[in-house]
Amino acid sequence: MKAAQDRQKSYADKRRRPIEFEVGDQVLLKVSPWKGIIRFRKRGKLSPRFIGPFRIMAQVGKVAYRLDLPDELSGIHPTFHVSHLRKCLADDVAYVPLNDIEIDEKLNYIEEPVAIVDRKEKQLRNKTIRQVKVQWKHRKGSEATWETEDEMKRLYPHLFEM
């Protein structure tokens, strides 16, 4: 039995590499869903899994790193185990600057529509739903979303004034 376990372990360990970061690397921080952190929007399937990016300030021991956290996260200890970090692979131009983000009093992210890009009618069995493709502020070109025209007229009537 022990020989079989050792053989399986050796096969599994061939692809396994230790996670290591360098000082100055950009990493994403895993948000703990079981601790009920509501600060980063709602809980559930659509809640963010990682926040950041944050710069690594120092390595603490073999498997922990100290991060440069912003003042909004001052209540969180800045040292994290590697299992809570993920390498940030995107370039810096893909991120929205922190000072451009608008947040309400409940710390929810506020998005504003900029323009209506396209229109279409979706035919259901016994009714037709009119939809508009909306370009949002602080999103890139391909990030436009389809929304119902009635809902957008109710929330943002200035988009439909000619």
Domains plus CATH for the chain?
A: 22-96 (2.30.30), 111-160 (2.40.50.40)
- pTM, 2 dp: 0.50
pLDDT in tens, 22-49: 999 999 888 765 454 445 555 556 666 7
| H runs (alpha helix) in the chain | 2-13, 149-155
Instruction: Return the number of other C-beta atoms located less than 10 Å from residue 113's C-beta.
Output: 19
Token pair recorded at residue 16: 């396994």
Measured on CA atoms in the order 116, 117, 118, 122, is the torsion positive or negative?
negative
Of the pLDDT bands very low, low, confident and very high (cuts 50, 70, 90), residue 97 is: low
Q: Which pLDDT value is given to residue 129?
A: 93
Looking at 36-50, 94-108, 138-152, which range is the least confident one?
A: 36-50
